Structure 1
Amino acid sequence: MRNPKTFLNGYTRTLLLIFSMLFIAAESFAFQPADIKYVEYKGEVVNARNGRPISSAYLALNNSNISTITNSDGEFSLKVPEDLIEATVTISVLGFQSKTLPLTYFKGQGTRIELEETVEELTEVNLYKATNPRLLVEEMLAKKDENYLSDQSLMTSFYRETIKKGWSNVSLSEAVVKIFKSPYNSPRKDLVSIYKARKSTDYDKLDTVAVKLKGGPFNTLYLDMMKYTEYVLRPEMVDSYEFTFDDPTKINDRFTYVVDFKELDESDPWYYGKLFIDAETSTLVKADYSLNVDDRNAAAKMFVKKKPGGAKVYPVELNYQVDYAQDDGKWHYAYGKAQMDYVVNWKRKIFNSRYKINSEMVVTDWQEYVSEDWKKSVDLINPNIVMVDDVSGFYDAEFWGSNNIIEPEKSIQNAIDKIKRKMKDE
């Protein structure tokens, strides 16, 4: 059997950060949307008990493929074709009871949605009869072809990449992308085209280091564990992990097992986290996991390919999340998020520079796609792409048209406004 670490290293190489003083530009590619009028609804999702915002809450327009997700402030923006006024929207998130509301409940601004915490005590009787976490994971992997999309599809997604230095926002990249999603039972890789992209960066705050996230949208797309099982949970790699049951929970009002997993070999950076597995169908519906990078030298060799002279660069924290959505009994990738903290230690400086890089992508629409013509009509991006540095778009209020995006956090929006004013003054 091949060494599992070989596969893990191959995966992490797709999430490389490049530190250099060179800036690389890429084009944004045209993709014409249908001529449909949309209505935009904005608001927030909060905890009914204490009013605190709920991040990563999933809003799905029922009987359609339209969806979006709340930002870290619990805010959302949902754009719906104006002829779907009779529709309903389901709001769901881990740890809260799902809620379905008519679209007439939503307003252009100020929609407030309160979710109740899940307080039901779950027992083994409720959760059927699974008693061995490893056998449950093996069953989850064996049922991939049965539980996930077996047809190719064309997905519209929103991708965001932010860089903070300390507490300051210094860079924001956003893109609407088209994903040619191959079936889960196919070895073919997914293909990606950028429809629209924009970026603002305050290079003064980056000192002499330009932080580059290599991979762009692929960073979050490759978090799809059930499509890319060879990277983390390949069936032959099950022996490389320890599995234990955690307290069960409910997701989308369905009983869900929670399985903790940890890689046994800790000689290199190693994975650990939680798998949320639907109790009835043995489907992976969510995963939260991390890469332990306590060994700084090993982590630096794995992740840092270029750096300025006189500086030590190494990651200190890497966290990942992937969520799946269900449609007609089949599940598919819905949301991916990667959070990475890096330290730059300059030889002649007293204080280190700490960077936090967040990238996330949410599928906002999808449709079955039989034809292969789409690939001939667009420019596909390379998995090694570095997000654009010089793309227009922040001045244009209509730039994003009818596409659903993640509502900007207040701090990010303030950073954009500041950068725009600075650029305008120049």
Structure 2
Amino acid sequence: MYLNGPVYVIKHKAMKRINHLTLIYTSILFLFCSISTIAQTYELFKELEGKVVDSNTNTPLIFTDIVIKDSNISTVTNSDGEFLIKIPKSFLHGILTFSHLGYEKKEVKIASIKNHVKIALTSAYTELNEVKITANTMDAKALVIETLKKKSTIYNNNNTLMTAFYRETIKKRRKNASLSEAVVKIHKQPYNNFKKDHIELVKARKNTDYSKLDTLALKLQGGPFSNLYTDVIKYPEFIFTEEDMPLYSFNFNPSTQINKKLVYVVNFKQNQNIETPLYYGKLYIDAETLALINAVYSLNVSNKELSSRMYVRKKPRKVDVYPTEATYRVNYRIKDGKWHYAYSNISLTFKVNWKGKLFNNVYTLNSEMAITDWKVYDTKLTKVRSQLIRPTTILSDKASGFSDPRFWGAYNIIEPEKSIESAIKKIQKQLKRT
């Protein structure tokens, strides 16, 4: 079984009254807070924004974990290394921690941080120690197998209600064509059972420029669920099944550090002479606990026909569509000695060739989801199932939220990257004109 990435349905123009095909995203209905509620919540927190960079090169550090110490409130930096975090007033005298793989953790007093701050992290240099790497007497493959068995002991095995921010974009070549954002509640099941997680919608907004999508209709099935299923520990069957493990080769890469702890780096890829598209990438494993703390991997799309079948269920005869890139990332975070899912990112690029047309189209879909807060519950989470969304739920077009700077209220979000920020400004201008 393979990772449940988006499934795309491509249709041709069928009626004269239809000038273009529509792009339909998977997701959800909208729930809005009243203006008075937003005003009240706005008084309860302070916004801090800034940028995280490498202390030597000044290079932006993307996917940096930013956490309010002694809390579950967090966010991550975007592709420009920028962040925005909302600090509840009860934590204004607390500490903000910055963690990035391969760098020393940095703690800063919140009271001392000025807005638009630049945080510089120092590289954690680790000499490769072959004795340490082989001290567990396991080869790389055995280490991965042992890591996948650890979910019952070192991962969060409580019913947990997680607040998460989800963003989904689609670009036609380099131009933004659609933008969707949502705050969701994840009803996270314990890692030591086989029950599926559930997602509840809190708030969302979406805008699509259909003029940029006049030749293609894509139906994305999955939405936030696709990102949730990148949780390799909870859902190993989407990438490492018992049947697939013999089809992979594993080897050690030079080790690294995070928060002054040694981290094993394991490369994996499918063996030669195997036609089935499998994955390749790196696994970052905590040397002390053997917990998976980070995974970055891609689908082998060299076989166009077979890799296309994994994503495309239906298409016209006169069109060829295939993925040219499919990359995945998942990060885990530790709290009170237990690891849990913290962030994931999916990037998919497709090439669409229409027979008889000189030029092809390239579409890139990107989705990311970050856990911004969570609570442990002693009781079952999913009592009111009518409030939950399904992987097949469709997100209706709604752009009004983009005109309200306080739309998200006290909820933490991922700071938009420059291209998305530009798209939001264009949406705001459109709303003012209409």
Q: TM-score, normalised by structure 2?
A: 0.90
Match of 1:137 among 131, 140, 144: 144
What's the offset of the Cα at 1:138? 2.0
Match of 2:48 among 31, 41, 45: 41
SS state at 1:139 partner: helix
Counterpart of 2:6 in structure 1 is 15
Preserved CA contact (<8 Å) 1:320 1:337 = yes
Match of 2:415 among 407, 412, 422: 407
What amino acid does structure 1 have at the position aligned with 2:207? S
Counterpart of 1:3 in structure 2 is none
Match of 2:330 among 322, 329, 340: 322
Preserved CA contact (<8 Å) 1:157 1:363 = yes
* Aligned-partner Cα distance in 1 for 2:188–2:384: 15
Match of 1:27 among 29, 34, 38: 29
Verify: 1:292 aligned to 2:300, yes or no.
yes
Go from structure 1 to structure 2 and tell me whether the alpha carbon gap of 1:309 and 1:196 turns closer, same or farther (over 3 Å shift): farther
- Unpaired segments of 5 or more residues in structure 1? 1-6
Preserved CA contact (<8 Å) 2:249 2:270 = yes
What's the offset of the Cα at 1:326? 0.3
SS state at 2:347 partner: strand
Matches of residues 74-85 of structure 1 in structure 2 within 5 Å? 74-85=81-92
Counterpart of 1:114 in structure 2 is 120
Counterpart of 1:97 in structure 2 is 104
What's the offset of the Cα at 1:18? 3.3
Counterpart of 2:237 in structure 1 is 230
Preserved CA contact (<8 Å) 1:30 1:378 = no
What's the offset of the Cα at 1:30? 6.3
Counterpart of 1:189 in structure 2 is 196
SS state at 2:384 partner: helix
Counterpart of 1:86 in structure 2 is 93
* Aligned-partner Cα distance in 1 for 2:248–2:134: 24
* Aligned-partner Cα distance in 2 for 1:154–1:200: 28
Q: Which segment is superposed worse, 303-312 or 38-47? A: 303-312
* Aligned-partner Cα distance in 2 for 1:115–1:38: 26
What's the offset of the Cα at 1:384? 2.7
SS state at 1:120 partner: coil
Counterpart of 1:420 in structure 2 is 428
The C-alpha deviation readout for 1:118-142, integer Å capped at 9, x for no partner, is 2232313455713511221122122
Counterpart of 2:15 in structure 1 is none
What's the offset of the Cα at 1:157? 0.3
Counterpart of 2:345 in structure 1 is 337
What's the offset of the Cα at 1:324? 0.3
Counterpart of 1:52 in structure 2 is 59
Runs of 4+ residues deviating >6 angstroms: 30-35
Counterpart of 1:174 in structure 2 is 181
Counterpart of 2:285 in structure 1 is 277
What amino acid does structure 2 have at the position aligned with 1:113? I
Counterpart of 1:4 in structure 2 is none
* Aligned-partner Cα distance in 1 for 2:290–2:352: 43
Match of 1:158 among 145, 159, 165: 165
Verify: 1:244 aligned to 2:246, yes or no.
no
What amino acid does structure 1 have at the position aligned with 2:7? L
Go from structure 1 to structure 2 and tell me whether the alpha carbon gap of 1:309 and 1:235 turns closer, same or farther (over 3 Å shift): closer
* Aligned-partner Cα distance in 1 for 2:265–2:291: 12
Q: Which segment is superposed worse, 93-102 or 54-63? A: 93-102
What's the offset of the Cα at 1:202? 1.7
Go from structure 1 to structure 2 and tell me whether the alpha carbon gap of 1:411 and 1:270 turns closer, same or farther (over 3 Å shift): same
SS state at 1:83 partner: helix
Counterpart of 2:315 in structure 1 is 307
The C-alpha deviation readout for 1:305-355, integer Å capped at 9, x for no partner, is 233563221111100000000011100000011110001112232111111
Preserved CA contact (<8 Å) 2:22 2:210 = no
What's the offset of the Cα at 1:24? 4.7
Please tell me the root mean square deviation across aligned C-alpha atoms, in Å: 2.2
Q: Which segment is superposed worse, 297-306 or 118-127? A: 118-127
- Unpaired segments of 5 or more residues in structure 2? 12-20
What's the offset of the Cα at 1:369? 1.4
Match of 1:148 among 155, 159, 182: 155
SS state at 2:90 partner: coil
What amino acid does structure 2 have at the position aligned with 1:60? V
What's the offset of the Cα at 1:105? 2.8
What amino acid does structure 2 have at the position aligned with 1:379? Q
Go from structure 1 to structure 2 and tell me whether the alpha carbon gap of 1:373 and 1:228 turns closer, same or farther (over 3 Å shift): closer
* Aligned-partner Cα distance in 2 for 1:96–1:182: 31
* Aligned-partner Cα distance in 1 for 2:312–2:393: 16
Preserved CA contact (<8 Å) 1:216 1:387 = no
What's the offset of the Cα at 1:422? 3.0
Preserved CA contact (<8 Å) 1:149 1:184 = yes
* Aligned-partner Cα distance in 2 for 1:193–1:406: 19
* Aligned-partner Cα distance in 2 for 1:146–1:77: 33
Go from structure 1 to structure 2 and tell me whether the alpha carbon gap of 1:184 and 1:258 turns closer, same or farther (over 3 Å shift): same
What amino acid does structure 2 have at the position aligned with 1:419? I
What's the offset of the Cα at 1:295? 1.3
Q: TM-score, normalised by structure 1?
A: 0.92
What amino acid does structure 2 have at the position aligned with 1:353? N
* Aligned-partner Cα distance in 2 for 1:183–1:16: 28
Q: Which segment is superposed worse, 131-140 or 386-395? A: 386-395
What's the offset of the Cα at 1:235? 4.8
Identity %: 44
The C-alpha deviation readout for 1:274-332, integer Å capped at 9, x for no partner, is 11110011111110111011111112222112335632211111000000000111000
